Amino acid sequence: MNKYENEKRLTRVEGKYTFAKLLTGLFIIFFGTVLLLDQLDIEIPKIFRSWELILIFSGIVLLVKHSMKSFSAYVLILIGCVFLLRDYYPDLIKPRIIWPSLIILVGVYIVLKTFQFSKKKDIHNPTADWKDSIFESSSIFGSINKKIYSKNFVTGSVSAIFAGIEIDFTQANIEESASLDIGCFFSGVTIVLPPEWEIKSEVSSIFGGVEDKRMLRNSEEISKKILILKGTCMFGGIDLSNHSKRR
C-alpha cells in the first residue's frame, strides 16, 4: 500500500467515524427527549423506553462505522430484536434458548473468520517467504503467550474464548501498515507493542473494549508504522502494553 492509498483509506475511515458520531449524537438527543417526556408524564409508546432499542441503535452505529461489516453490530441488533420479541411475544422466545444461541453465534463468527483469514493468506502468501509475516493464534479455555519476530509483519488473527492470550510484537517490525484481527469473547487479550507504533482501532465492542496502557514517546519520535486492530470484543478486554506480563 503506497502513501496515497494509505491516506485515502484513512480519509474514508475518518468520514465513516464522523457520520457514526453524528448518528450517536442524534440517538442521544432522541433518548434524552424520551426521558424528558417521561418525566413530564407525557404518554409515549413503551418501545421507545426499552433498553433493547439502545442495543439496536448501537448496532446501527457500528454498522455505519464499519461499512456494514461488523459482526458484533449484527449481534447487538439481533439481541435487541430477540428481547423485544420476547417482551411482546413471550410464548415465541424462550429465555433458556437465548444463551445457547449466543454461543452458536460465537462459533459461527470463528468459522467465518477462519475462512476469511485463509483467503487473506492465499493473497499475501504467493511464496514461502511470507510464512513469517502472517500468523494465526486461538485458544478456548486456555492461555497462549506468543512472540512475533517477523521483520515484515503483514497480518494476523487472534481468537480467544474464555481464555487469555498475549501477543508480543516488541521484536517485530512492519513496513508501513499491518492489521491484526481479534476475536475476544469472555477473555483477556494483551498486545505488547513497541512505543513508536501508531494504533488505529476498528474493534467493535460489546460490554468490553480496547485500552491503551503504553508509555508513548514524544510525537516527533513516533514513526509512521501503523497497526490496524480489527474484530470484535464481547464481554472481554484488549490491553495494549509496552511490557510483557510474563517475567
Residues 16-67 have pLDDT tens digits of 667 777 888 888 899 899 989 989 988 888 888 888 888 888 888 878 776 7
Per-domain boundaries in the chain: 3-93, 129-241
- For residue 235, what are the contacts with CB-CB under 8 A and spacing of at least 6? 185, 186, 206, 207, 208
What's residue 5's pLDDT? Answer: 57
Residues 137-165, mean pLDDT to the nearest whole number:
88
**CA–CA separation, 209 and 191 (whole Å):** 13
The per-residue pLDDT for 192 is 94
Mean pLDDT for the chain overall: 79
- When mean pLDDT is compared over 11-15, 91-95, 188-192, the highest value belongs to 188-192
pLDDT tens for 206-241 read 778 899 888 766 655 556 789 999 888 888 899 999
Q: Which residues pair with 201 in a beta bridge?
A: 229
Contacts of 33 (CB under 8 A, 6+ apart): none
pTM above 0.95, yes or no: no
Q: Is 50 left (phi over 0), alpha (psi -120 to 50) or beta?
A: beta
pLDDT tens digits, 162-218? 889 999 999 999 988 899 988 888 899 999 998 888 899 888 877 788 998 887 666
More confident residue, 82 or 102: 82
Q: Give me 227's grid cell.
A: 497497526
Spatial CA neighbour of 207 closest among 54, 15, 32, 86: 54
